[in-house]
Structure 1
Amino acid sequence: MTTPAESRTPAVTSQAPEASKRQKNRAAYAAFTANIERLCRTDPGAHAALRAGLRRDLNHPRARPMHRLLATRVPEECDDATAQAYYTVASLIAAQPRHAFSPSQEEDEHDTDEPEAAQAQNLQESDEVDKEDAPSVPAPYGSSFGSTLGQAVIAQGASLRMSAAENRINLLTRQSTRGIHLHLPAAVNQVRAAGAPIDWGQLLADLVDWPYRSGRISRRWLQDFYRITAAYQD
């Protein structure tokens, strides 16, 4: 006869591989979005091409210039829904004003003064330290878009009203896969105007999973939004 504690053990064990995979995917998504931000910062032509693909599906004529830039950056042989998630996030990042991609003065000085070999060595050492210090339990999800929308409401001096944000989050969480891609640009503009930071890597992760887990993702967005705005009065 098994005890209650023993009966729960398999469930905990089965969750570990999924959490580890999610953590690995998040790192890849974050690397992709950082690469797109760097591309937009350094290449005005690429910035314009990616921005032109906003609200366009993969086969739209205005999305064609994006293929040259993203073909080697999205997972090889991924399905159309996954590719669309990458294209949408890339275009959302590119839709930001140019000054959003300007590196700080400290970053410029650091990049200029430090040789590339030294930078590579530092990155390797930093990676080794991170691996040693990394917790055995994978980190939770990143900041969801619901959390970002909530931060936009409570931000000091923000003009986004609670009622408008609530309407927006309810609209987003009712969308189909195609619908979420069409409605996100307006929502991103709202939170950007309020100065709320967007976790692009987590947004990409959620869009990749939306066709299969939209209910779970929607619930997390709503819960995060209401947790942050719980003490806010419109």
Structure 2
Amino acid sequence: MKGIPSITTADAYVDHVGKVTRNDPGRRAALRRSLGRPVADIGARWAHGVVAPWLPERRDVRGRRVYDAVESAYYTVAALAAARPADRDRETDQPATPEADAAADNEESARTNLGRVLGLAVRDGKVNPDTAEGRLHLLCRQDVAGLHRQLPGLIRLLQAKDVQVDLAKLLLDLSRWGIGRDEVAKQWLQGFYRAMNELKDNDDQDAARQIGQESEDK
């Protein structure tokens, strides 16, 4: 869909935010202050210099809901990128090109979405399962504005446990929220429950193999 960035463009954007804020504490702080605020909020004004050059033209995006979701996604991801530790910034010197965008279509499916990140944190004992499940379902019920208000709390919960989110993949998912919320929510929830139950499934398989081995030994 026109206006939704490719995963290659999203990676380049996250890298760009990291680079322009790494040695500029004032700009980093300004972006961090914009987190969770509406794009038109006075607290987001200093973020425009970083974000605006990457936004699609409104006339090129069909539908106000689509554009609002894409615009909000870029601002939120910039604020999240600025808020994470500097040593987490990704480095890349590969520019986004149409050829790279086309080659990256299949790569996105291999990236880890927010739901799976949360499920893996539960699986590894870093996050309480009831807390994680409740927060994820709350996010999935939100409209665009509500999503961007609620999301920072969940990201802070994960960062406090040293769990990092793939911000490029998040940018794509947030951009689709305007008309594709239900599909993105489904992917997040499926990723969450699959990841959370991976350890149990592996334990069950190990137990079955052990029982089979014991039967052969008798």
Give the TM-score taking structure 1 as reference length: 0.70
Counterpart-to-counterpart distance in 1, 2:199 and 2:146: 29
* Aligned residues of 1:155 and 1:196 also touching (Cα < 8 A): no
Q: Please list the CA deviations of residues 30-57 of structure 1 after superposition, one character each: whole Å capped at 9, or x if unmatched.
A: 1111111222212111101101101111
The SS at the match of 2:172 is helix
Q: Gapped runs of 5+ residues in structure 2?
A: 62-66, 201-218
Number of corresponding residues: 187
* Aligned residues of 2:123 and 2:198 also touching (Cα < 8 A): no
**What code does the residue aligned with 1:152 have?**
A
Counterpart-to-counterpart distance in 2, 1:153 and 1:68: 37
* Aligned residues of 2:4 and 2:175 also touching (Cα < 8 A): no
The SS at the match of 1:175 is coil
Counterpart-to-counterpart distance in 2, 1:42 and 1:51: 15
Structure 1 position 72 matched with structure 2 position 41: no
Partner of 1:88: 76
1:159-198 aligned at under 5 Å gives the runs 160-198=127-165
* Aligned residues of 2:76 and 2:148 also touching (Cα < 8 A): yes
Larger RCO, structure (CA 8 Å, separation 6 or more):
2
* Aligned residues of 2:112 and 2:169 also touching (Cα < 8 A): yes
The 1:147–1:102 alpha-carbon spacing in structure 2 relative to 1, beyond 3 Å, is: same
**What code does the residue aligned with 2:57 have?**
E
Q: Gapped runs of 5+ residues in structure 1?
A: 1-17, 108-118
Partner of 2:186: 219
Structure 1 position 144 matched with structure 2 position 110: no
The SS at the match of 1:102 is helix
* Equivalent residue for 1:210, pick from 177, 193, 200: 177
Counterpart-to-counterpart distance in 1, 2:88 and 2:132: 30
Counterpart-to-counterpart distance in 1, 2:148 and 2:5: 24
Partner of 2:203: none
The 1:50–1:23 alpha-carbon spacing in structure 2 relative to 1, beyond 3 Å, is: closer
The 1:183–1:198 alpha-carbon spacing in structure 2 relative to 1, beyond 3 Å, is: same
* Equivalent residue for 2:86, pick from 75, 95, 101: 101
Partner of 1:114: none
* Identity level (%): 32
* Aligned residues of 1:54 and 1:88 also touching (Cα < 8 A): yes
Partner of 2:31: 50
Give the TM-score taking structure 2 as reference length: 0.75
Give 1:103 deviation, angstroms: 7.3
Give 1:162 deviation, angstroms: 0.9
Partner of 1:36: 17
